[in-house]
Amino acid sequence: GFEIAIADSERVIPVGEDQTVIEALSAAGIEIPVSCEQGICGTCVTKIVDGLPDHRDMFLSDAEKAANDCFTPCCSRALTPRLTIRI
Ligand code: FES
| pLDDT at site 62 | 98
73 CA to centre of ligand 1 in angstroms: 8
CA of 51 to the centre of ligand 1 (A): 20
Per-residue pLDDT tens digits for 22-75: 999 999 999 999 999 999 999 999 999 999 999 999 999 999 999 999 999 999
Spatial separation of the C-alpha atoms in residues 46 and 75, rounded to whole Å: 12
Cα(20) to ligand 1 centroid in Å equals 12
Q: For the whole model, what pTM was predicted?
A: 0.96
Ligand 1 atom at minimum distance from 34 CA: 3
Cα separation, 38 vs 57, whole angstroms: 7
Residue 12 contacts residue 4 (beta carbons within 8 Å): yes
Alpha-carbon distance of 73 to 2, in angstroms, equals: 13
Q: How far apart are CA 52 and CA 12, in angstroms?
A: 16
CB-CB contact of 25 with 32 (8 Å): yes
pLDDT of res. 19: 97
Distance from the CA of 39 to the center of ligand 1, in angstroms? Answer: 5
- For residue 84, the model assigns a pLDDT of 98
Ligand 1 atom nearest residue 59's Cα: 4
Q: Of 62, 60, 70, whose CA–CA distance to 32 is shortest? A: 70
